[in-house]
Amino acid sequence: MCPLDGEESKVAAEPGIAPGGAAAERGAGPSAATSGAGFTADPGAPTSATTQDPATPPLGDKSDAWLLGRARELIALVQRSEKHEQQEIITRLDELLHETQRRGEPLLVAQILRAAALSRLISASAPDEAGRQLDEMLAHTRRHGATLLRADAHALRGRRLVLAGHEDAALTEIARALALLDDPPSQELGLGRRAWDRLLSTALNDCWIVLNQLGVYEVAEEVITRAHQAVRDSAGPHEITMLLMNRVKMLLGWGLRLERIGRSDQAGERFRTAASMAIAVEAPFAESLFPRKAGVAAVDQVASLASALALAAPSDAHIERLRSLRAAPLYPYDNPLLSIALARCLESIGEHEEAFRLLMEDRHHIPEEYPQPSMRIGLIHELARFADRYDIGDPRATLADYAGALEAELWSMRESQSAALDTRREHERLSAAHGAITQQALQDPLTGLPNRRALDDRLRAFATSTSSDPLAVALIDLDGFKGVNDQRSHADGDDVLRVVASTLRDSLRGDDIVARYGGDEFITLLPGATLSAAHQAMNRAVTAVDELPQHLSHGVTLSVGLVALRAGEHGEEVLSRADAAMYQAKRRGGNQIASCGEVADETETATGGGPTSDAGQPT
């Protein structure tokens, strides 16, 4: 039994944009993908990762909304595909990622990174690649101040660790995610309230998936309630369906767990609540984006809903439906839950032998990578119960004792995990609060880059260092930026500054420093780079900005003044020389780089004088 959004048996529920194609271009409602194979795909949804219209324009001609919508369609598709098809889908997502990284829009890059990593987690074929992409997503979101997606990166890292069997480390990642989400910024990256709420809900849902897998149900209930509250005012039928289905799955797992430690009354309450939600989901399911069979009730298509009704009141009325779902499961991971529900219905009419047989079948066929240990134990416990009560199987007593002892140990571990999570969560919250205060003092709020104060600190450290390593310094000014503010709007100007900041950051090395100096000026420090190497690096940045799509850059280009820090030179002195070089690039027409030596040469030519005092010194 797996929750929607993120395991092999379910699909990522994403905030923001419709599922690609024309719908995405029109700005249709939010998308999430399906909950199972065998459903009829939504009209317009892709049926194959490789289906291509020969007339389809290249990715470079597609809008950001189309790229994000297509990524969501592919996440839906990868969870309904065979192993050999999944690699093709991953390749398509990598192509989308390459295109979004070329464009450089920070929020889009983060969301496509998430999709690319999630596809690898779903296929379970490339966990190391998923880990690298999640590391990249974490660094990217930290660099650009995208708190919600940064928390989501931690949550997905937790999911990867669960798949690898590192449950304690997974809890640490979830603690980090929840610490960020406990006190998130009210708005970031220019997001509207609706989009912000959806990103928050998605990050919380990804945290919930891991908590539910680990059986930390009390905290999982709190987290999924917050996910629902985040989109309560703006949720459409799809979000309502997804949240209700996820709560049904959680309540069923929780109820079975409570039964195994003798808390039958509490378990019955969970089953009855789950059954009520299974009935309530019928109306929104019919209008959701989940692929489904037209005219067929949700409980006849979704295993968890059918199981909820059966576990709340086992009887022969559910047997035909459960048999049908078990014969053609949406995903193999649904079988243990279906088998337990079907076995109890068979038990209600005295078919004990058949119930035991189907439980034993699934006991031998649970895949090794099954992500929920508690459900595996639940199946063993159900076998032990049948063997003990109806004198079936051999050896009954050994199996019952084993299951009981193992469950007691797992319950004890669950309580320890819950306490450890609370402790780590508080620690991470305090650490995040301290780090946020420090970062705010040194970060430009518009671009997320280091501000002038942070730059002065770093430049002072380089100037006073005894190291002989070179340091190149570039002062960057935007050509044509005033026209954007005057002819369009200051909001468009702010967008241009964000895009240019992101492009500069992504064009340079990881240890290069890009800071906003003020207005439309940026400073880049390139430690260890000679003037020649720095010129090549900055030329990449100039070219990258020049090649940005018109709707992102509005024609803005870069004028760069490039110099090298001299021995004993103060920070303000090197910046003054870089400023002079930048104005020389402006006078030449902009969209280029000038160095201090070139400024001196042109001054000599203009005045007819001899070499200046700087002639033999490095620049």
CA distance 153 to 147: 10
pLDDT band of residue 331 (cuts 50, 70, 90) is low
Q: Kindly report the number of other CB atoms within 10 A of residue 232's CB atom.
A: 13
Higher pLDDT, 377 or 296: 296
pLDDT band of residue 233 (cuts 50, 70, 90) is confident
Residue 20 in this model has a pLDDT that exceeds 60: no
pLDDT band of residue 465 (cuts 50, 70, 90) is confident
Q: How far apart are the first and last CA of the chain?
A: 65
Average pLDDT over residues 558-579: 92
CA distance 439 to 437: 5
**b/e sequence 382-420, b meaning 16+ C-beta within 10 Å:** bbbbbbbeeebbeebeebbeebeeebeebbeebeebbee
pLDDT tens for each residue of 338-390 = 999 999 999 999 999 899 888 888 877 776 666 676 777 788 888 888 877 88
Within 8 A by CB and 6+ apart from 117, the residues are: 130, 133, 134, 137, 156
State the pLDDT at residue 138. Answer: 93
Q: How far is CA 358 from the centre of its chain?
A: 38
pLDDT band of residue 416 (cuts 50, 70, 90) is low
pLDDT band of residue 440 (cuts 50, 70, 90) is low
Whose structure tokens read 């639940």? 378
Q: DSSP E strands: which ranges in 358-470? A: none
State the pLDDT at residue 27. Answer: 34
Write the DSSP assignment of 239-261 as a string of letters: HHHHHHHHHHHHHHHHHHHHHHT
Sheet of 513-518: strands edge to edge? 513-518, 521-527, 471-479, 557-564, 592-595
Within 8 A by CB and 6+ apart from 272, the residues are: 312
φ, ψ at 295 (rounded to 5°) = 75, 5
State the pLDDT at residue 158. Answer: 94
The domains of the chain are located at: 452-607
Q: In 3-state terms, what secondary structure has residue 542?
A: helix
pLDDT tens for each residue of 67-97 = 988 998 888 788 767 778 888 999 999 999 9
Task: Output the CA–CA distances (angstroms, integers) from residue 556 to 91, 486, 499, 519, 551, in the order listed.
Answer: 33, 13, 11, 14, 11
Higher pLDDT, 358 or 273: 273
Average pLDDT over residues 419-425: 73
pLDDT band of residue 1 (cuts 50, 70, 90) is very low
Average pLDDT, the chain: 80
Residue 397 in this model has a pLDDT that exceeds 60: no
pTM given for the model:
0.60
Average pLDDT over residues 299-320: 94
Average pLDDT over residues 245-266: 91
Residue 128 in this model has a pLDDT that exceeds 80: yes
pLDDT tens for each residue of 508-563 = 888 899 999 988 999 999 999 999 999 999 999 999 999 999 989 999 999 999 99
Residue 41 in this model has a pLDDT that exceeds 50: no
CA distance 110 to 462: 32
Residue 191 in this model has a pLDDT that exceeds 80: no
Name the most confidently modeled range: 109-123, 424-438, 443-457.
109-123
Residue 11 in this model has a pLDDT that exceeds 60: no
Q: Kindly report the number of other CB atoms within 10 A of residue 598's CB atom.
A: 17
State the pLDDT at residue 335. Answer: 80
Percentage of the chain surpassing pLDDT 90?
A: 40
Mean pLDDT is lowest, of 217-226, 350-359, 425-434, for: 425-434
User: For the structural domain made of 452-607, what CATH number should be given?
Assistant: 3.30.70.270
Q: Which long-range contacts (CB under 8 A, 24 or more apart) does 123-130 make?
A: 123/8, 123/78, 123/83, 123/86, 123/87, 123/90, 124/8, 124/163, 124/369, 125/83, 125/86, 125/87, 126/90, 127/160, 127/163, 127/164, 130/156, 130/160
Mean pLDDT is lowest, of 28-42, 92-106, 156-170, 518-532, for: 28-42
Q: Kindly report the number of other CB atoms within 10 A of residue 276's CB atom.
A: 16
pLDDT band of residue 472 (cuts 50, 70, 90) is very high
